[in-house]
Amino acid sequence: MLKKLFILSRGFAEKLNFHKEKKMTKSRLLNRSNISLILAFATALFVPSGQLRAGTQKKLSDQMSIEEILKATGEYCERVKQMALHYICLEKITDIEKFFGGMSRSSGLHRENMIFNVRRTKRQTYTYDYQLIKKGDELLEQRIMLKKNGRKRHQKNADLSHLKYFSKFLIYGSVGFLSRYWQSRFTYTYFGEDKINGEPVVIIQAVPNDVRLDNSNIGRIWINKDFQILRVEWEPSCIQDYQDETIGSKLGEFQKTVVWTVDYSVEKNGILFPGKQIIQEIFFQDSSNGIQRKAVKRETRFIYDNYKYFTVETDVNWRKKGQ
């Protein structure tokens, strides 16, 4: 059975959770878990280049304390939650799966580094009109498929069930970690500093204080000097319908992990919307001499473009951040 990846907009569930949390039985929570995050635990081995190791106490500026970050990002997430708008955009998906056939010696940086031979590559592309409708506490996603593998299509009420990993309600990805409701349920630490498109950012890590079915995810969040959230990377420790998998070789077994990152780069009125989402299924092995061998088995890349926003009174154009 294919494993799916969903995001629940936990921001919209906050009021419901607050009043019903103590009354919910395990079975009722399991019903809600059908739209919870599903993702393999991504190890620290695959952090992006330039990222510092966990626990590094380095700040973007001397004035940017963790308390100020949490206060400002909490306000930012409240603005995200309160945005009563509809928007549409183009969603372009490229899904690439590699079929391995044995091992070969790499001519790369380390001669002893071994990688898998790629016997066959399957590449699928899709283009959708994506629409998000939010009114009050109601939230709905709709898609029309426009193209499949370059050929024109017109399929209403399309979904992403053909993909191995996919997500829902990405705009609210940061809300489940940094909104005022959820901040009391996480412990936050500095993870380091980085740059995104040349812009300095600070990285914090969020770990739940109490692991529950609706609060079982570990995440890292990239925040700029204006306290906007530019990137979120999930490391859920509670996995639904996920099975460990290994690939055998002469060098031993390679273990599967999944790395999932969302970049927020399209700006409207100070709020950043998704610009890119990448989900990678990776097989890795650490050798005794400290050299890591890894290969990307599958990569699903989502690009979001041509945003149009609709409110009751106005229609606002979109722009890429930095343009």
Q: What pLDDT, on a 0 to 100 scale, did the predictor assign at position 36?
A: 33
In this structure, the strands spanning 138-148 and 254-268 are unpaired
Sign of the C-alpha dihedral, residues 228, 239, 101, 249? positive
User: How many other C-beta atoms are found inside a 10 Å radius of the C-beta of residue 239?
Assistant: 17
Contact yes or no for 95/124 (Cβ under 8 A) = yes
Q: What pLDDT, on a 0 to 100 scale, did the predictor assign at position 284?
A: 86
The three-state secondary structure class of 218 is strand
| Structure tokens that stand for 15 in this block | 């009021």
| Structure tokens that stand for 235 in this block | 């490391």
Contact yes or no for 140/39 (Cβ under 8 A) = no
Q: What pLDDT, on a 0 to 100 scale, did the predictor assign at position 293?
A: 82
Q: Residue 251 contacts by C-beta under 8 Å, 6 or more apart in sequence? A: 103, 114, 285, 287, 293
292 phi-psi bin (left φ>0, alpha ψ -120 to 50, beta other): beta
Helices vs strands, H then E, count in the chain = 5, 14
Q: Residue 89 contacts by C-beta under 8 Å, 6 or more apart in sequence? A: 130, 266, 273, 304, 305, 306, 307, 308, 318
User: How many other C-beta atoms are found inside a 10 Å radius of the C-beta of residue 218?
Assistant: 19
d(CA 42, CA 165): 14
Q: What pLDDT, on a 0 to 100 scale, did the predictor assign at position 235?
A: 72
pTM score, two decimals?
0.77
pLDDT beneath 50, residues of the chain:
1-13, 15-59, 61-62, 106-113, 236-239, 312-316, 318
Contact yes or no for 64/223 (Cβ under 8 A) = no
Q: What pLDDT, on a 0 to 100 scale, did the predictor assign at position 131?
A: 95
Q: What pLDDT, on a 0 to 100 scale, did the predictor assign at position 102?
A: 65
Instruction: State in Å, rounded, how far the first CA of the chain is from the last one.
Output: 43
| Structure tokens that stand for 70 in this block | 């949490």
Q: What pLDDT, on a 0 to 100 scale, did the predictor assign at position 221?
A: 95
d(CA 100, CA 296): 10
Q: What pLDDT, on a 0 to 100 scale, did the predictor assign at position 103?
A: 61
